[in-house]
Structure 1
Amino acid sequence: MRLEWIEDILAVLDTGSLARAADRRFVTQSAFTRRIRMIEDSLGATLFDRSRKPIEALPSVRALEPDLRDAAARLVALRAGLGGGVGSAIAFACQHAITATVSPRIVAALTEQDNLSVRVRSGNRDECLMMLLSGEVDFALMYESPAARTAAIPRAFESVLLDTERLVPVCMPALRAAANGPVVPIVSYPAEVFLGRVFALGLAPRLPEGITTLSKAETALTLAAYRYAISGIGVAWLPLSLVQDALDKEELCLLEDILPASELDLVMIWLPEPRQPQVQRIRQGLLDSLYPDAGSKRRPDLLADAVQPVDRTEQG
């Protein structure tokens, strides 16, 4: 059992309500409900009777309440003791494209701190958020797009805007003439994934008049789209930082003079951590060293209900 799981269960026992428990745990009710269901799925057992209002813990859970409280207290003390000892660890999650481009700089800065080890988890956007909610990672790095911003739910996450990126159209030089249309062969993203939504909402409406696209290959994996573009399959929209080296070597050419590009925001996201000052210090040290202007951009994030049932196909 994770400490975070025990604390979630105890929050429901103490408040008698998923909504009040969610407030105590600094997440939205919908996100907290998903966390409770994830705990139940992981344990293979139902913990609460949801047919009753207010919600009630099953007798087996009530019987274990003293043990849960004792375990929580012991784990908190153990975590605090280990945090003050020799060596510490921090974990973060990031979208796959960010793993290949931004994360090496983050890891290098973190490992410069004495006795700090770093665990990097890679996943799609929703998986990264779920890792945060489950306590598997301390923060997450991901892209957001002004063209495809998700619905706003306050208080679930905190975040800073670290940097901006461009999602740019690129292709093999031999295909440049084809980018003028009227039918442009492209490497597309599935409509349900993040970059697919960016293309549908922010790029497709801005295609030049008279130009249509023909998907020659579809992939949810950004790194695969990069390889398809460099193999001459079609035009692909990729983060500029991912393709800059190929552009410099003239393995790919930039098509911004013909086809639209889109802005991407690189954001760091985390859950409020009133009892993890060490993680806060490490994260703030990272921001101070690599992104000194990020503190001025700090804002309560409005992404909480962006967590949908995890789509294992999304990799962008």
Structure 2
Amino acid sequence: MDMQWLDDVLALLEEGNMTRAAARRNITQPAFSRRIRSFEGWLGTPVIDRKTNRIDISPALLSNEVEIRALMSRMKELRTKIAHHDAAASTIAISAQHAPVYSTFPDMALRARTAFPQVRFRVRPGNLSDCVALFLRGDTNMLLCYEAEGAMTLQFGPNVVRGKWGNDYLIPVVGGALRYTIRDSGTLPSDTPAIVYPENSSFGALLHKRERPFGTQAHSANPVCETAFSSGIREMVLNGLGVGWLPFSMAYREIETGDLISLANRLGQEPLEVAVYADSKNDMAASLLELWAK
């Protein structure tokens, strides 16, 4: 199969018109039509219904647009890897929760580059369930995540090893104009706006189980926004949209400057571990885990 056929198909999907798609691909409409027919010949089934004055794109092609884009991305990535292969360099793919990507991974990467100057990283951020799925499928060599201290660790096969980068704490913070609503006792009114986590997220499940105020909708009188994206919560809290819970490593600089005020002394905190999982069959992943777990 000619890979340019997929580019043609994507242009057709985006334009919805053979003439516009051909112009976008810088070829004549008849030539473009022939390439689409060649793709249909390779596929073994038509992807467009050719009518007198218009064409209809098949539902099968429309429903698989995301898969086609993913295939093109993987093929371009493979081409780049082969063309620019460096025998001395290793690329480690890491699936990581959004929060540790922001809070801890920069320090981890600096330490890794000191020990292994040629190492490169491909970070795939996401929610914990998505990160675990990527790791299980073998799309990544390592998994970086937060785990509640003392909780059962994630269970994988015998080839997966776990290490701990360090400790952190989930703390409630407030910023912006809401800082001035804190009472002399160090508490906030119960109806203070809150940026909360979904109960089915990792932080949300922990805060809901501990019945932490302002953590989830069930324990907030005035939830104004719900999101599992900790970096987004940080920005909203800084702007005074609501009180929210953040890993201390994401908030300590702003706490030092006074842009954020910690409420941990009154509302408590949740201990966290920064956990790293690695496929032990990958030598570089195993070496990084050993380095990071020291």
Query: Could you tell me the TM-score, scaled by structure 1's length?
Result: 0.57
Report what 1:280 is aligned to: 286
1:215 paired with 2:223, answer yes
Larger RCO (CA within 8 A; separation ≥ 6): 1
What residue identity is the alignment partner of 1:106? Answer: M
Report how far residue 93 of structure 1 moved: 2.0
Deviations 1:53-74, CA, capped at 9 Å, x for gaps: xxxxxxxxxxxxxxxxxxxxxx
Q: Does residue 251 in structure 1 map to residue 259 in structure 2?
A: yes
* C-alpha contact 1:95 1:125 (8 A) present in aligned 2: yes
Q: What's 1:89 paired with? A: 91
- Aligned-residue offset at 1:205: 8.1
Question: Counterparts of 1:255 and 1:282 in 2: how far apart (Å)?
Answer: 36
**In the TM superposition, what are the counterparts of 1:142-161 in structure 2 within 5 Å?**
142-146=145-149, 149=152, 155=158, 157-161=160-164
Amino acid at match of 1:143: Y
What CA distance in whole angstroms lies between the structure 1 residues aligned with 2:262 and 2:288? 38
Letter of the structure 1 residue corresponding to residue 124 of structure 2 = R
1:176 to 157, 182, 192: 182
Residue 165 of structure 2 is aligned to residue 162 of structure 1: yes
Q: Per-residue CA shift, 1:222-241, capped at 9, x if unaligned?
A: 11111111111221010001
- Within 5 Å, which residues of 2 pair with 1:9-48? none
CA deviation profile, 1:108-151 (whole Å, cap 9, x unmatched): 12223233222222111112111211222211110011486578
Deviations 1:30-63 (A, max 9, x none): xxxxxxxxxxxxxxxxxxxxxxxxxxxxxxxxxx
Alignment partners' CA distance in 1, 2:89 and 2:190: 60
Structure 1: tracts of 5 or more residues without a match: 1-78, 293-316
Question: What is the SS of the residue equivalent to 1:232?
Answer: coil
2:118 alignment counterpart: 115
Aligned sequence identity (%): 21
Q: Deviations over 1:74-118 (max 9, x none)?
A: xxxxx9xx89x3322222221111111111112112223233222
Relative to the length of structure 2, the TM-score reads 0.60
Bigger CA radius of gyration:
2
Instruction: Classify 1:239/1:203 alpha carbon distance in 2 versus 1 (closer, same or farther; 3 Å).
Output: farther
Change (3 A) 1:256 1:249: same
The residue aligned with 2:55 is: none
Show the counterpart of 1:31.
none
Check whether the contact 2:278–2:289 (CA below 8 A) recurs between aligned residues. Answer: no
Partner in structure 1 of residue 144 of structure 2: 141
Residue identity opposite 2:106 in structure 1? P
Structure 1 distance, partners of 2:127, 2:243, is: 22
SS at match of 2:101: helix
Q: 1:239 pairs with 247, 255, 261, which one?
A: 247
| Alignment-derived partner of residue 39 in structure 1 | none
Taking structure 1 as reference, are residues 154 and 204 closer, same or farther at Cα in structure 2, changes over 3 Å only? farther
Q: How many residues are aligned here?
A: 202
Q: Aligned-pair distance for 1:153?
A: 7.0
Distance 1:136 1:220 in 2: 23
Q: Is the 8 A contact 1:203 1:262 kept in 2?
A: no
Given the alignment of the two structures, is residue 204 of structure 1 paired with residue 206 of structure 2, yes or no?
Answer: no
Shift of 1:157: 3.7
Report the equivalent of 1:58. none
148-157 or 121-130, larger mean C-alpha shift: 148-157
Work out the CA distance in 1 between the residues paired with 2:243 and 2:136: 36
**Distance in 2 between residues matched to 1:278 and 1:146, nearest whole Å:** 27
- Give 1:48-67 correspondences, 5 Å limit: none
Aligned residue for 1:6? none
CA contact (8 A) 1:189 1:220 kept: yes
